[in-house]
Amino acid sequence: MVNKDNIINKLSTFYFILFFVGFDFVSSISSVFIPNIAEVSQSVTIPYHAFSLSVALFVLLFNYRNKIEYNLGVLLLFIYLALFTIRFFYDFEIRTDVFVESERKMQLRMLYAQLLISTLAISKSYRNIDLYKSFKWIYFCYSIIILINFFTVPEFSPYSNDVEYQVSSGVRNTIGTGYLAAFYLLLSIFFLKSVDFHKIYKILSLPIMVCGIIILLRAGSRGPLLAVLVGLILLIALQKKNYIITLFIGAMLILGFLIFYSEVLDLISKISPIMTNRIQGTLEGGDTTRIGFFMEGIKGFLDHPFVGNQAMLYRQDGDPTVPHQVIIEAFMSTGIVGGVCIIVVIYLVIKNVISNLHIIVTNYWIELILLAYLTRALTAGSILVSDYPIYFAYFLLARNKESRIYWIA
């Protein structure tokens, strides 16, 4: 006789893995057979999201009896999602003063539908997710992804700026490629420290980690590098419980970088000219592209501070972009109420991540990845058109009381 609970657990775990790593895995595999970036984006994105939505609906169907456990953070998140849904519907279905190309509009509708359905699916099914099994499959898939990208993704031009391109394709861009490496490296930290995996597998993972580091530098995006450094420093500081030494080492590294600035940049340039170019742009004030997006988003909020002004930054060519900063996006799209909700949610998430890393909880790889998503949201993220909107769904992922973990509040 078929065990219904077993089916529900396997389906919930499969969807969690799919939602986490599915798009990156499918797009990386596809890139081997379809060299043209635009063709990969068009042929993979829509079918994948359609399949993912179908699986999410099955997860909801099998878990419909489960209740969503509300707390302050979850409630605020749902309020923000409700406000953004109203704004999204108004902009895309009612407004006549903005133009979005029809194919792009369909893609954005599908992405937002996935965001909402995925949020509900994870919030209903999180108790049935096998996190240990999920990690093994996620880490294996990311290992394959790293190897494929190491051998197939070319080095980006040192003068390329694909901030806009990131929004359009999600395949083979500096930010997306960088975060693939960042996620793998953060997962590797947990993998190497865990006692649940054989030393042989850990030794075999080391060359792939080297590939991940090279990809991270070769991509040239600063956000992924920052995500890895934040995760590593917090983990060392909180688990070793020696904050003074950690701060001292961090200060010495920063001082060493400033003293040997030219030599360090010269060394980095041998691996990644684009990373050198962007570090120089950041430190010397030459990179203002993203600041322009920030200011445009702030202007949208100031135009209508109480209800927000627009879901996206609209363009005359019909291909809208985003402010590349989730707090600015929240204020721009939903006004003061939605913006304050997101600020409180992010505060609660940071508070709980730090608490969980401090007590060294089981499966703390989730905290490390959540830090990466938080870094992405604050430096280049968006609720609507990130490569996948898992960042927000993760706020609803909780574990049982025995592990003393509540993702929000």
- Give the per-residue pLDDT at 278: 65
Instruction: Give the total residue count for the chain.
Output: 409
Write the CA distances from 308 to 112, 149, 211, 335, integer angstroms.
Answer: 18, 39, 43, 4
Render each residue's pLDDT in the chain as its tens digit; 409 residues: 567 788 889 999 999 898 888 888 888 888 777 655 555 556 677 788 788 889 999 999 998 888 877 777 778 888 888 999 999 999 988 988 888 888 888 888 887 888 888 888 888 888 888 888 999 999 999 999 999 888 876 655 444 444 443 433 344 567 778 888 999 999 999 899 887 888 898 999 999 999 998 888 877 777 788 888 888 887 777 766 666 776 777 777 767 766 665 666 666 666 666 666 666 666 555 556 778 888 889 998 999 999 999 998 888 888 888 888 889 999 999 999 999 998 988 888 888 777 777 766 677 888 888 888 888 888 877 877 654 445 455 555 554 333 333 333 3
pLDDT digits (tens, 9 = 90+) for 140-174: 999 999 998 888 766 554 444 444 434 333 445 67
CA atoms within 13 Å, Cβ hemisphere of 262: 0
- How far is the C-alpha of 348 from the C-alpha of 351, rounded, in Å? 5
- pTM to 2 decimals? 0.82
Collapse the DSSP code of 313 into the 3-class scheme (helix H, G, I; strand E, B; otherwise coil) and give the result.
strand
Q: How far apart are CA 397 and CA 35, in angstroms?
A: 36
State residue 333's pLDDT score.
92
Tokens of 107: 């893609």
- Look at residue 141 in the predicted model and tell me its pLDDT: 94
CA 357 to chain centre: 19
Helices 365-379 and 326-358 meet at what angle, rounded to 10? 160
**pLDDT, tens digit, for every residue of 51-64?**
888 999 999 999 88
